[in-house]
Amino acid sequence: MRYFVSLFCIAIFANAMTDYYPIINNYIYNSLNKIDIFLSDSNISAHPVYTIRSSIDAARESSQNTLFRFNIKAKIKLPRTMRHFKLFFEDFKQKNSIDTLNGRSVQDSINNNSYLFGLQYHAKFPLRFRLGMKLNSFDSYAGVGMQKEQTWHTLSFLYGFDYRYYIRRKDDLSLHANIYKTLNNAFTLGFENSYRFEQKGEVRHQAIDGLHLYHNWNASLQNIWRADVYMNSDTNDNFRLDYYYFGCDIIKTFVKKRYFLQISPAVLWREPRDFRPSYRFMVSFGVNFYKK
């Protein structure tokens, strides 16, 4: 019952956002523009550029309570003040798996989330540099990352890394290497692999390997079929298989991609359940604020 009430609340929120979106977006733009003028002491012709993506996830799995997660990711460029820098603000995910939902309600999730805030610098070469802070624990960090893509006809290879050193959490390293094969105008097959090491995380080592089939019905509707394997380890010993995942994401965008709705039914085989199947249903509603 609580799950359906939550879906109803998300629907009401989506309807309200349609009316208030222009007001909120203009408020964000005007506020950032005033901040830029104030910090730079300049009134030259320029305007802030930003993307702010926020969403609410609600998921229910067999014999488990409904869980929620609030997600946010923002990148802001103030051209008068910082020509080569961007501000960023985003929620911090402690796991790479699907088990990132962390509240019995949206408010619980907001309170339980950790957030990152700081500056990002893009050099002319592929590296990007970050200085920031994990706000809930006031843990400062410095980081460097890279992402590159190589393409050969219908094959593409996307790879990169993200390394952060926190004063308290110490090392946090993420690697990814993905291969994509374009089958035709509508279908793309992807083999995606990622690894993460956290010196003081809940689990020290995490790895996900997945075979994904992307189907673009049109510019606003996409299907993603997923078959994933998630493994982790608390020590430097061998990895432990945590779950198999098979599911489908149905993603629909609305009104010039300002809003999106994602529905994700799935079947999981988890190690704690002796790999007996469990059924999961997740719905996400999100909003994109932007000014280019």
Q: What pairs with residue 162 in β-bridges?
A: 145, 174
pLDDT computed for residue 63 by the predictor: 79
* pLDDT under 70: residue ranges of the chain: 1-18, 236-237
| CB contact set of 4 (below 8 Å; sequence gap of 6+) | none
pLDDT computed for residue 248 by the predictor: 97
pLDDT computed for residue 21 by the predictor: 85
pLDDT computed for residue 6 by the predictor: 52
Domain residues for 237?
2-291
CATH number assigned to the domain comprising residue 145: 2.40.160.40
Instruction: Report the C-alpha gap between 95 and 236 in whole angstroms.
Output: 17
Number of residues assigned to the chain: 292
pTM: 0.86
Instruction: Please count the structural domains in the chain.
Output: 1
213-223 pLDDT, tens digit per residue, is: 999 999 899 99
Neighbours of 186 (CB within 10 A): 12
pLDDT computed for residue 229 by the predictor: 96
pLDDT computed for residue 20 by the predictor: 82
